[in-house]
Amino acid sequence: MRMRIFVAFIVIFVINLINAKIFESDEHQRHARQLNENQFISVKEGDVSAYIARRKVGDDLIVGKYVDNWKNIYIPYFGKELVFQDEIEILKTNGRHMWIPYPGHIPEKAIQGGYEGTAKLYIGRKWHEGKNLAGKIVEGINAIFCPFFGNELRFDENFDILVEY
């Protein structure tokens, strides 16, 4: 009986890994030189842990959040929250990062997480309705965009940006 439970557990685990299709490509790593393979970047959304992740959408590489409980990435994109279960890249750093209040411009040591057209996307978070929401800070816009219950929310103040130290 124990052996059957163990085998069932292993099968479910492998199926979840295959469904997530988490990958790291050289092309994506080129656009975030500070990111490497040591530590996932997490944010706490209420009682759920989410991780900073990204995914290609068309020609763009968009920063969002990966929620392990649901094996989905949630991406803010053109006013909506897009949800995917494939081609997900969970971002990692060397552990030398910290969140700082957004100073009104992109700091020199800000960690780039992707791009949208020619604009660089940086990693941010915003406290909203009791949760730390992960999101993208678009170069030149001075705002953070976060996926939230099917929508892309824009916040122009009181958010954090991830920087390397």
Give the pLDDT band of residue 92 (cuts 50, 70, 90): confident
**Interior CA angle at 78 toward 18 and 136, to 5°?**
70
Residue 95's φ and ψ, nearest 5 degrees, are 90, -5
Q: Which residue has the tokens 């979840």?
A: 16
pLDDT in tens, 127-156: 999 889 999 999 999 999 999 999 999 999
Domain assignment of residue 33, given as a range: 2-164
Question: Into how many domains does the chain fold?
Answer: 1
What is the C-alpha to C-alpha distance for residues 83 and 95, in angstroms, rounded to an integer? 28
What's residue 34's pLDDT?
40
Give the pLDDT band of residue 36 (cuts 50, 70, 90): very low
Percent over 70 (pLDDT), the chain:
77
Mean pLDDT of 94-116: 94
| pLDDT score of 24 more than 60 | no
